[in-house]
Every structure is written in C-alpha cells, then in structure tokens.
Amino acid sequence: MTRMLIIGPPGSGKGTQAARISERLGVVAISTGDIFRDNVRRETPLGVEAKTFMDAGDFVPDSVTNSMVRDRLAAGDVQEGFLLDGYPRTAAQVAELDDILRENDLALDVVLQLTADDEELVKRLLGRAKLDGRSDDNERVIRHRLGLYQDQTAPVVSRYDERGIVTRVDGLGSIDEVTDRVMTALKVAS
C-alpha cells in the first residue's frame, strides 16, 4: 500500500508522472487540477468560482479545496493507497491533510518532489497552452503561478523534509527518462 504526494512547480510533469506512478503501483491518482477543470467545463458552482481564481493564476481557496479533498479521500477506491497531485499547496492544507489522515488512522509514505528550471517550465507551459488552448496558461499567468509556487508551496516541502519523507527527482528530460528516475527513487525511498 502506498500513500503519497507528488509536488512540483506548474509544468514539471506532475500529472503525467502521477498517471504513470498510479498505473505502476496500482493506486488511484487524485488530481485537484483535473477536478477543478472538470467542474469548470461543466460550469458547476464550484467550477464557476474556481475559474475566476484559475484564470488569474491564483490558487482556489483552501476552504473549497480542503472540502473537496476530504470528500475524495473518503471514497472507497483510496483504501489500497493513493497519490495526491496538486494538494497540499499551503501550510494550512498540510495541517488539514494531517487531520484527514489522522482521523482515518493513516499516514503518508512518501512525498515525491519533481524539480525543474523556471525558464524551461515557462517554455513547456506556453507550448502546452498552444496545444490545449488553456486560458490559464499565458506567460504572465505562468510566471505568477511559478512565483506563487515558490512563495507558498515550496515551504510545504520543508514540512515534509522535517519528517524525512521527501524524495526529489529531476523533472526535465523525456517522459520515459523521468518515469525511470521516479520509479528508481521510489524503490530506494520505500
């Protein structure tokens, strides 16, 4: 059983690697970004609210995100393990996740941090924006999101570093190269 987080700056390949890790380890991948985008596409009340923050490059408020994650971690398909992608992003969300896990007598096994150079990430995200037509990926928003990551999310890694459960992997290179590095690092970490 594996309970893990994948953390990294926007464009570092978290979603791609989460899907591959999920398949290889047989655990469900839970992406807050996918949940937000699905709600935006369906124009649910959450989606309408989330879209205003996403289009500005800001994070969706903790209250909305925490409730969504709490509900998702209560689902039956996470009993054999899970991989959270995009959560927690703030110290307050770390505390909320700790509470959720403690209430269910669970703990995280590993926090996988993908690392990458900011300028390479900007190029990668601008290319993705052209391919996917994503309104939340223009250069101004991308740089804003990278700044938010450094200010808010990077300190989250420090919390998990204190617990000795962070494994860092270079997120640059081909998808297969990164996956190979990730799987090797996870074997070492377990």
Which residues carry out catalysis? 14, 89, 128, 134, 145
Check: CB of residue 14 under 8 Å from CB of residue 63: no
The answer to whether 36 is a known ligand-binding residue is: no
Run of H or E residues at 30: strand 28-31
Cis peptide before 61 (omega within 30 of 0): no
The answer to whether 124 is a known ligand-binding residue is: no
The answer to whether 123 is a known ligand-binding residue is: no
Check: CB of residue 60 under 8 Å from CB of residue 44: no
Strand positions, DSSP E, 80-189: 81-85, 110-115, 166-170
The answer to whether 16 is a known ligand-binding residue is: yes
The answer to whether 15 is a known ligand-binding residue is: yes
The answer to whether 11 is a known ligand-binding residue is: yes
The answer to whether 89 is a known ligand-binding residue is: yes
Check: CB of residue 8 under 8 Å from CB of residue 116: yes
* Spatial CB neighbours of 3, under 8 Å, sequence gap ≥ 6: 27, 81, 82, 101, 106, 107, 108, 109
The answer to whether 59 is a known ligand-binding residue is: yes
Task: Render the burial of 67-76: b for 16+ CB within 10 Å, e for the rest.
Answer: ebbeebbeee
The answer to whether 17 is a known ligand-binding residue is: no
The answer to whether 57 is a known ligand-binding residue is: no
The binding site comprises: 11-16, 32, 37, 58-60, 86-89, 93, 128, 134, 145, 173
The binding site for ATP comprises: 11-16, 128, 173
